Structure 1
């Protein structure tokens, strides 16, 4: 897989998922392989701070969905990762996922990938959400391809944010130019 879209929202097809899918759609239309993963309905336990991942080179917590999703992240060239804004930051579900990636940090397992941060707000705070995601991407030494923010509360509202949808399409086109340099 070349482009992985990861929505941290607990809503399977909520506004965050829909905005990420706009980006992925541009890539798919150009023939780039994409995959979308939603954390909705997934069990992602929090990091316990045990430090055993330093020795094991992988998170030692078992019995949840983190490992399978982390494997997909290791296979991608570009990660489009997003969250709804909860109290001016990423939602807790995505934060659990991000915290567990500390286990990948020791050997720089995510180094060299490209990343895009996506934040969706009801009325404010998406910039802070994006900053948290960008911190994750920067820590793992992703090259940033920018960010996309939008506004929407009820499912589907994001598609009414014409500026966000247009920016998402342009961001998808940026990925296409990167991965298919001769694409018009």
Structure 2
């Protein structure tokens, strides 16, 4: 089993990476493979609502990191998204990536019933708002949300300061343990004959007629 971790910070080895790495290490200790993708610093175009993905099964703009994340989700059993806090919300590049990732991934059934979690990093404030933004992607895609012993956040202005946030780092480790447990429980359920739930055909209701 493999968990994909998306580092949504422009800094490859910064505070968000430090938090994700702590969770990844705990997953590895539980026998779960991990793969981390850094979204980088190049601008990521947002979803244009062209709906070409409905025809193609992929984003019409398939030359960036979104394609890499989609390919990894083909074999990933879980997903963890990490983001710094910018102006009390997630990194804009990450939001652009997630908008495209989740519409295509939902069409291709890459997310349903796979555990998901978010991790956020801030110098001071905006963490709970950012978590709320990120968790909405999971809850529209039928993903079980993995919790920890506190909200999944760390505080610090540098990786060294993040490591001094002992409660935050403990929260990251507990998140790794909880996700490993849930992944193994799902796998055990499948082996015992527990069938994944089947979704009804999507109903779209418009309120203006």
Task: Say which structure, 1 or 2, has more relative contact order (CA 8 Å, 6+ apart).
Answer: 1
Q: Which has the higher strand share?
A: 1
- State the match for 2:174 in structure 1: 170
Q: Please show how residues 1-184 of structure 1 align to structure 2 within 5 Å.
A: 1-41=1-41, 44-101=44-101, 102-146=103-147, 147-180=151-184
- The 8 Å contact of residues 150 and 161 in structure 1, kept in 2 or not, is answered as yes
Structure with max Cα Rg: 2
Q: Distance in 2 between matches of 1:180 and 1:33?
A: 12
- The 8 Å contact of residues 115 and 182 in structure 2, kept in 1 or not, is answered as no
Q: Distance in 2 between matches of 1:180 and 1:149?
A: 24
Q: TM-score with structure 2 length normalisation?
A: 0.80
Q: How many residues align?
A: 181
Contiguous gaps of at least 5 residues in structure 1:
none
Contiguous gaps of at least 5 residues in structure 2:
186-209
- The 8 Å contact of residues 115 and 145 in structure 1, kept in 2 or not, is answered as yes
Q: TM-score with structure 1 length normalisation?
A: 0.90
Q: CA RMSD in A?
A: 1.7
Hey, which bits of structure 1, 4+ residues long, moved more than 4 A?
none
- The 8 Å contact of residues 4 and 79 in structure 1, kept in 2 or not, is answered as yes
Instruction: Report the CA distance between 1:164 and its aligned residue.
Output: 0.5
- The 8 Å contact of residues 5 and 21 in structure 1, kept in 2 or not, is answered as no
- The 8 Å contact of residues 74 and 109 in structure 1, kept in 2 or not, is answered as yes
1:127-156 C-alpha deviation (Å, 9 max, x unpaired): 011111100111111100125111112233
